[in-house]
Homo-oligomer: A and B are copies of this chain.
Amino acid sequence: MTENTPRKQIAILGSTGSIGTQALEVIAAHPERYEVYALTANNRVDELIRQARTFHPEVVAIANEAHYDTLRDALSDLPIKVYTSEAAICQVVEAQPIDIVLTAIVGYAGLKPTIHAIRAGKVIALSNKETLVVAGELIQQLLHQSHATVIPVDSEHSAIFQCLVGEGNNPIEKLILTASGGALRDYSLDQLRHVTREQALRHPNWAMGNKITIDSATMINKGFEVIEAKWLFGVRPDQIEVLIHPQSIVHSMVQFADGSIKAQMGLPDMKLPIQYAFSYPERILSSLPRLDFTQHPQLTFEQPDVRRYPCLGLLYEAMRQAGNMPCVVNAANEVAVEAFLNGHLPFLSIADVIEKTMGRTAYLAHPDYDDYVATDTEARRIAQELL
């Protein structure tokens, strides 16, 4: 690192969300290495304006076109290009100067811009998990045809990625994905029936967005991560074990063919995997709080009780069926979680909505991109009707 090393140009898709704002903290801590080239958001225009005035990107874009005038007017005194629409976001990520695209958009909406970033050969700091959950096979094909590389930002997949560094083609025997068990880990099945929004959002270890915190409480999140891991690391689902680890210190593990296990650990803080995705293969000094084992003298592990986590079982079933079925589960889950967060659906009914949507959506064994779009639309419609 010298004064003349060019700074990496970063585009953050979903900059106003939890991952996006933490990524900006990482960039702010290393101004000699990273520069914000583009920021995009869906709806939170005021936060996007504030970020743009702080980080002076080349480009900002807002998906919801209703906010375009507000955004443009608020930044009219700065030399920042202002765009709107999802299509514009897909074009923004292709800009030549961009080195790294952090895909921190939540949900299905992250898929299309990620595809554009892959086609443009960028380094993808992948935080949008739906990209691989919904369209893993398609993404794999695109990656083979491009110069793009994917570095996972999820703490679990970042952990595995870190453990695999330097291991070449050494055969993986098993991946062990750890799971906190979510906000409701210690609730009885009866208590789960009457869970409120506030209870389900109280995650024991991680500060995350609302959608993913609920997905963590149902553990469908962990099922999504199993699908992601399958695509990212080229293993079979039966080589992926989920282990409840309430302390969230061991972020995940790899067991190799010789029986050796490597684990990556640390305090739960998403800024570490974000920074690693930006700095890889280097590691750079961070001021993040360090793990002190005298403060965390005990790490525990247990197998998940499948009866408490029916969504996890549904996702394994979707993985078995493959085709467009993970896409169906994702769409139904997005609809059901939104309904739960708005107080329109009891917590335990999230699994019911998913299960019924799976039964009613047309199955496709080998979907292409348009099939995914159609499946997503159909599954959302069915899930909405079920509410």
Interface residues of chain A, those whose CB is within 8 Å of chain B, are 162-163, 165-168, 170-171, 173, 176, 243, 250, 253, 255-267, 272, 275-276, 279, 281-286, 288-291, 293-294, 296-303
Contact = CB atoms under 8 A, between A and B. Distances in A.
A275 B170 CA distance: 14
Contacts of A176: 293
A171 B283 contact: yes
Contact of A288 (B259, B283, B293, B294): B259
B243 A260 contact: no
B258 A285 contact: yes
B243 A256 contact: no
Contact of A293 (B264, B297, B301): B301
Which secondary structure dominates where chain A touches chain B?
A: loop
Given A258-B285, A261-B291, A262-B264, A165 B165 contact: yes
* Copies of this chain, whole number: 2
Given A272-B258, A298-B299, A167 B168 contact: no
Contacts of A300: 297-299
Contacts of A253: 265
A265 B261 contact: yes
Contact of A298 (B173, B286, B298): B298
Contacts of A173: 290
Nearest to A158: B260
Q: Across chains A and B, which 10 residue pairs bring their CB atoms closest together, nearest first? A: A166-B166, A165-B166, A293-B301, A170-B283, A261-B265, A258-B283, A299-B299, A258-B286, A257-B285, A263-B263
Nearest to A178: B293
Nearest to A275: B258
Max chain B CB contacts within 10 Å: which of A260, A275, A281, A301?
A: A260
